[in-house]
C-alpha cells in the first residue's frame, strides 16, 4: 500500500488541500497522513475544523515576527523527523509557500518523491509575488509529479524542460473546496449573523481584501484612497476583512476608519468568508485564491496587483488587473457598478480553473502511477 504524506502550513494551502485529503482518505490503495507546519496557526486551524481534518503531525512553527529565513530553516529542521518516522512513498505539497518549497527540498534530500499541486503558475518576476514566485519555482524544480491547473501552467513547465509525462492538467482544487464549502456553510454562525446585521441590502456590496507585501507603503495608501472615494457613492457598501499584518492594519484603519459606507471587520474564517463573497456584487482583491474562486460564484474581480501568475482569468475576462493606481481602480469599479452589459459579460465568462473535479483527477493519476 502506497504511503502518502500531505503537508501544508497556511490557510490558502489548507483550503486547497483539504478536499484532496478527504478524497485520498476514501481511497483504500493509499495510507494517507497529514502534516501541518502551522506557518499560519489560528487561520489554519479554522480551515481544519471546517473540513473536519485532524493532522497526524503538527509542527506548530508559527512565531510572531519570524523572518522568512528563520521560518524556512525551522521548517527544514522540523520536517526531517516526520519524513523519517512515516517514510512516505510520496509527499504532496501545494503552491507557493515557504512550507511547500522547504518541505519539497527536504523530501528531495531524503530521496522521497514529490507531487506538486497547483504547479506551473508563473510571473517570471521574482519579486512579484514575493516570495511566492521563487517558492513555486523551487518546488517545481525538485517535484517529480506536477498537477497543473490549466494548459498555460502546463506550458510553463514544458518551457522549463519538465518532462511531459510528469505533467497532469487537473483544474484547481480550490474550486472543489469552494463548491463543497458553499454547500456546508452554516448561516446560523454568530459571525455570519453579525455581518448580516450590517449589510445594507439596498446597496451594491464590494468585498475587499488586501495584504500583499509588494503593495506595502505608498501603493497601499493609494489603494485605500481609491476605496475611500468609491465609498462616497450612495449605492455602494464596502466590506473589508482586514488582514492582521501591522503594515495593513495601520494604513487601513487610518485611511478608512469611521466611514459610513465602509465596514472594517476582523479576518474571517473560510466558511464565513465564502459566504460573504457570495453576497458581494463586486470583489477588489490582491488574493490569488479569490481570483480563482470568484468566477465560480459569478462575481467580477478587480485585482490590485501589477502582474498575476493567474493570467488565464485575465484572458478569459473573469478578472481584470488594475494594480494599486487610484484612478484605474475607481474607473474600472465605476464601469462595473454602472454598466450592466459589461458586468453581465464578465460574470458569464467560464471559470478557467475547473469544474470541481480536480481532486478526483489527482487521485486517479496517483492510482495509475
In a domain, 85, yes or no: yes
Residue keyed to cell 470568484: 294
> Are residues 152 and 272 located together in one domain of the fold?
no
Same domain, 194 and 138: no
Indicate if 341 and 211 belong to the same structural domain. Answer: yes
Judgement on whether residues 243 and 284 belong to the same structural domain of the protein: yes
**Among 24, 7, 207, CA closest to 97:** 7
Looking at the fold, whether 291 and 142 belong to one and the same domain comes out as no
Residue 183 within any structural domain of the chain? no
Both 28 and 161 in one domain: the answer is yes
Same domain (yes/no): 196, 327: yes
295 and 339, same domain (yes or no): yes
Q: What is the pTM of this model?
A: 0.89
User: How many domains in the chain?
Assistant: 2
CA pair distance 302, 336, nearest whole angstrom = 10
What number of CA atoms fall less than 13 Å from residue 3's CA on the CB side? 9
Taking a C-beta distance cutoff of 8 angstroms, is the pair 40, 130 a contact?
A: no
Digits of tens for pLDDT over the chain (369 positions)?
Answer: 799 999 999 999 999 999 999 999 999 999 999 999 998 788 889 999 999 999 999 999 988 889 999 999 999 999 999 999 999 999 999 999 999 999 999 999 999 999 999 999 999 999 988 999 999 999 999 999 999 999 999 999 999 999 999 999 999 999 999 999 999 999 999 999 999 999 998 999 999 999 887 878 888 999 999 999 999 999 999 999 998 888 889 999 999 998 989 999 999 999 999 999 999 999 999 988 899 999 999 999 999 998 888 899 999 999 999 999 999 999 999 999 999 999 999 999 999 999 999 999 999 999 998
Looking at the structure, do residues 196 and 343 belong to the same domain, yes or no?
Answer: yes
324 lies in which domain range?
188-348
The verdict on 337 and 363 lying in the same domain is: no
Looking at residue 341, which CATH number applies to its domain?
Answer: 3.40.50.2000
The reply to whether 168 falls in a domain is: yes
Q: Do 144 and 245 fall into the same domain?
A: no
The reply to whether 214 and 139 lie within a common domain is no
Q: Is residue 106 part of a domain?
A: yes
310 domain-assigned: yes
CA distance 353 to 356: 9
Residue positions annotated with a catalytic role: 96, 118, 132, 211, 213, 243
Alpha helices in 26-150 (DSSP H): 42-51, 68-86, 98-109, 132-142
Burial of 86-109, coded b for 16+ CB within 10 Å and e otherwise, reads bebebbbbbbbbbbbbbbbbbbbe
Q: Is residue 79 part of a domain?
A: yes
Amino acid at each position: 500500500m502506497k504511503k502518502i504524506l500531505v503537508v501544508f502550513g497556511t490557510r490558502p494551502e489548507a483550503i486547497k488541500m483539504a478536499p484532496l485529503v478527504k478524497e485520498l482518505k476514501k481511497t483504500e490503495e493509499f495510507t494517507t497522513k497529514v502534516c501541518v507546519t502551522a506557518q499560519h496557526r489560528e487561520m489554519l486551524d479554522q480551515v481544519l475544523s471546517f473540513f473536519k481534518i485532524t493532522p497526524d503531525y503538527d509542527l506548530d512553527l508559527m512565531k510572531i515576527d519570524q523572518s522568512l529565513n528563520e521560518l524556512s530553516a525551522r521548517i527544514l529542521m522540523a520536517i526531517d523527523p516526520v519524513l523519517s518516522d512515516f517514510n512516505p512513498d510520496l509527499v504532496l505539497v501545494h503552491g507557493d509557500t515557504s512550507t511547500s518549497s522547504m518541505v519539497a527540498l527536504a523530501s528531495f534530500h531524503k530521496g522521497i518523491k514529490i507531487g506538486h499541486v497547483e504547479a506551473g503558475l508563473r510571473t517570471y518576476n521574482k519579486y512579484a509575488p514575493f516570495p511566492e514566485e521563487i517558492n513555486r519555482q523551487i518546488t517545481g524544480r525538485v517535484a517529480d509529479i506536477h498537477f497543473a491547473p490549466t494548459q498555460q501552467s502546463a506550458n510553463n513547465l514544458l518551457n522549463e524542460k519538465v518532462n511531459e509525462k510528469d505533467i497532469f492538467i487537473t483544474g484547481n482544487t480550490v474550486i472543489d473546496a469552494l463548491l463543497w464549502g458553499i454547500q456546508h456553510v452554516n448561516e446560523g454562525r454568530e459571525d455570519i449573523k453579525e455581518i448580516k446585521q450590517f449589510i445594507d441590502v439596498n446597496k451594491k456590496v464590494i468585498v475587499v481584501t488586501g495584504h500583499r507585501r509588494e503593495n506595502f507603503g505608498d501603493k497601499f495608501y493609494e489603494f485605500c484612497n481609491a476605496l475611500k472615494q468609491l465609498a462616497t457613492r450612495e449605492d455602494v457598501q464596502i466590506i473589508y476583512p482586514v488582514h492582521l499584518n501591522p503594515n495593513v492594519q495601520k494604513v487601513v484603519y487610518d485611511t478608512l476608519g469611521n466611514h459610513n459606507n465602509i465596514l472594517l471587520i476582523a479576518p474571517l474564517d473560510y466558511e464565513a468568508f465564502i459566504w460573504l463573497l457570495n453576497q458581494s456584487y463586486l470583489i477588489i482583491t490582491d488574493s490569488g485564491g479569490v481570483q480563482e474562486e470568484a468566477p465560480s460564484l459569478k462575481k467580477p474581480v478587480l485585482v490590485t496587483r501589477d502582474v498575476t501568475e493567474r493570467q488565464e482569468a485575465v484572458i478569459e475576462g473573469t478578472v481584470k488587473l488594475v494594480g494599486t493606481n487610484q484612478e484605474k481602480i475607481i474607473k474600472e469599479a465605476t464601469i462595473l457598478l454602472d454598466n450592466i452589459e459589461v458586468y453581465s459579460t464578465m460574470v458569464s465568462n467560464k471559470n478557467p480553473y475547473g469544474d470541481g473535479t480536480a481532486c478526483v483527477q489527482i487521485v486517479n493519476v496517483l492510482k495509475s502511477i
